[in-house]
Amino acid sequence: MTLCPRSQCAQAARLIRFFERESSLSTETTFESLGLVDSILRAVRAEGYETATPIQQKAIGPILAGEDIMGCAQTGTGKTAAFALPTLQRLSVGARALPVQQEDRWQDDRPQNDRKHNSRHQNDRRRAKAARPIRALVLAPTRELAAQIGVSFNVYGKFAGLRTAVIYGGMGQGPQVRALQQGVDILVATPGRLEDLQEQGYVDLSRVEILILDEADQMLDMGFIIPLRRIVASTPSERQTLMFSATMPPEIRRLADEWLTNPTSIQVAPIATPAELVEQSIHFVEPSDKLAKLQHFLENTACSRTLVFSRTKRNADKIVKQLTRVGIRAAALHSNKSQSVRQRTLAQFKSNRPPVLVATDIAARGLDVDAISHVVNYDLPDVAEVYIHRIGRTGRAGATGMATSFVGREERDLLRQIERLMKRKLTVDGDEPSWASESSNSNGPRSGGSRNGNGRGRGPGNVPRGASGGKRPRRRQFRSDAPVAARANGTANGEAKSSGTTAAAPPANRPRRPKKKRILARL
């Protein structure tokens, strides 16, 4: 990809700022200087890592000391290793859990005939209870992030002698239950599936020593607050709690005060800071022209690996269908896809011949894919902070990247919110239409998708909702008891009165149209 001299200068300036910031950190950046044991260092060296990132430098020491941590860092800064490495060391070096005592084993004093009922599930629970206890619990908001965390624990802990299991929804629970029955030291889970297996008696959290909440703000956005409270309440009060988040809203601070004890606060970058090595630009596009604009962009831009963000699941499938029709390989990734399809799509995207990945905001955080050259915001997100997470998929590990956004008429206010958050104006590519400087004046929620990108609760596409809080205005129908002939001639109520014909008022108790029929009429 050839850059103009202006772009080359901008890239050089960003590189200089990046390396100046890196050089200003402490010189003790090696993992050996952080107090890690040989078994952990061997695994780290085997992966080719030599120096620690800022979040790792600041978090590993306090975690090894047993302190509670409230960490805030943008995506792609190495948060997983920041809590995985010291957790593995604490569990492997510390005292091993004692064997399960006799009183903890399965006790069943019911008559023999009653015990025969559902004996298979009783045996499953007995084996799960007799296995080694869960000593560390990691909670993640999405299946992809949970799977990545599980891989990291397995890679970093391959010489530590600890067992790790990952449980999440979207697939059968049989393999996950069998893994729990064999004994697990570290459990990585999404809240929904974990709570389900808890209710079935397959998960016992009474011996958890370390509780880790990764991307806590995203879990709150996805509505997991009630399951989180129940899960945390089932763990011992005497535990070490680590909470990591890319943003720090007031809700997260309140939960930190509730669940953490004298936590050490760690922040390595300003909240909602965009990647410094990402070149950002915007295109003002009419909503009806976005598909053609995306096709033109992909056909005329040298992209190695491109990630396109859509606000809704339906729109993502529509984009993939259109791109495939014109000969561009594309695949969709959203929560309506089965877990096997999502894993297969990610594997294709990580391959040497990746398709264009069209995804909702489930791919905005926790997606660990190298060499994403371009991020395209087909729709701007409803929340300005999500824009930071989206463009953070590129420009990782010192590499440069490009992020472009298509801004329609109804998204002008969203653009201004993003620019206010970043405290900078985004570069406009192409002509700027006259409506670009106007305000959309929309008081209600904008079209498409909820905050977490799952497409619930609002209409698909780019159809404006107006100022009625996202609801369609009720159509006013002309009703009159004037003679049919008068209405056929185009006379209104006033004309009927002037001609001597009195229009009767509609009946007060007129039955309303059933709600179900109104909904079906809109489909």
Ramachandran bin of 179, using left for φ above 0, alpha for ψ from -120 to 50, beta for the remaining angles: alpha
Task: Give the start-to-end residue ranges of the domains of the chain.
Answer: 27-98+124-267, 278-437
Q: What is the residue whose two structure tokens read 């943003």?
A: 247
Question: Which residue in 57, 398, 453, 393 sits closest to 246, CA to CA?
Answer: 393
Question: Which residue in 483, 454, 416 sits closest to 223, CA to CA?
Answer: 454
Q: Are 37 and 87 in contact (CB under 8 A)?
A: no
The 10s digit of each residue's pLDDT in 468-498 is: 444 444 444 444 444 444 444 444 444 443 4
Q: Are 211 and 240 in contact (CB under 8 A)?
A: yes
Question: Which residue in 335, 37, 50, 285 sits closest to 162, CA to CA?
Answer: 37
Rounded mean pLDDT, 417-432: 87
Q: Which pLDDT belongs to residue 149? A: 94
Angle between helical axes of 384-391 and 412-422 (0-180°, round to 10): 70
Q: How far apart are CA 386 and CA 360, in angstroms?
A: 11
Q: Which residue type, as a one-letter code, is found at position 27?
A: T
Q: How far apart are CA 372 and CA 331, in angstroms?
A: 15
The 10s digit of each residue's pLDDT in 426-449 is: 989 877 877 877 766 544 444 444
Binned at pLDDT 50, 70 and 90, residue 172 comes out as confident
Token readout for 129 is 């209870």
Instruction: Output the CA torsion sign for 74, 76, 79, 80.
Output: positive
* Residue-level length of the chain: 523
CA distances from 32 to 79, 80, 109 (A): 18, 18, 54
Q: How far apart are CA 491 and CA 497, in angstroms?
A: 10
Rounded mean pLDDT, 100-123: 43
Q: Are 460 and 315 in contact (CB under 8 A)?
A: yes
Ranked by mean pLDDT, which of 109-118, 357-366, 408-417 comes out on top?
A: 408-417
Exposed / middle / buried, residue 12 (Cβ in 10 Å: 0-12, 13-18, 19+): exposed
Q: Which pLDDT belongs to residue 377? A: 96
3-class SS letters over 373-397: CEEEECCCCCCHHHHHHHHCCCCCC
When comparing pLDDT for 55 and 221, which is higher?
A: 55
The 10s digit of each residue's pLDDT in 249-288 is: 888 889 999 999 999 999 886 555 565 678 899 999 999 9
Mean pLDDT of the chain: 76
DSSP 34-68: GT--HHHHHHHHHTT--B--HHHHHHHHHHHTT--
Q: Which pLDDT belongs to residue 509? A: 56
Rounded mean pLDDT, 348-377: 88
The CATH H-level superfamily of 278-437 is: P-loop containing nucleotide triphosphate hydrolases (3.40.50.300)
State in words which class domain 27-98+124-267 has: alpha beta
Q: Are 192 and 146 in contact (CB under 8 A)?
A: no
Q: Are 264 and 68 in contact (CB under 8 A)?
A: yes
Q: How far apart are CA 189 and CA 87, in angstroms?
A: 16
Ramachandran bin of 78, using left for φ above 0, alpha for ψ from -120 to 50, beta for the remaining angles: left
Q: Are 188 and 166 in contact (CB under 8 A)?
A: yes
By percentage, how much of the chain surpasses pLDDT 90? Answer: 43
The 10s digit of each residue's pLDDT in 322-334 is: 999 999 999 999 9
Q: How far apart are CA 487 and CA 502, in angstroms?
A: 13
Checking if the pLDDT of 128 tops 90, the result is no
When comparing pLDDT for 412 and 107, which is higher?
A: 412
Residue 228: count other Cβ atoms within 10 Å of its Cβ: 18
- Phi first, then psi: give them for residue 262, nearest 5 degrees: 45, 60
Among the listed ranges 56-60, 142-146, 369-373, which one has the minimum average pLDDT value? 369-373
Token readout for 240 is 């070490």
Q: Which pLDDT belongs to residue 113? A: 46
Rounded mean pLDDT, 68-86: 87
Q: What is the residue whose two structure tokens read 């984009």?
A: 319
Q: Which pLDDT belongs to residue 112? A: 47
Q: Are 220 and 141 in contact (CB under 8 A)?
A: no
Matching CATH topology for 27-98+124-267 and 278-437?
yes
DSSP 109-139: -S-HHHHTTTHHHHHHHHHHHHSPPP-EEEE
0.75 exceeded by pTM: no
Question: Which residue in 280, 283, 279 sits closest to 406, CA to CA?
Answer: 283
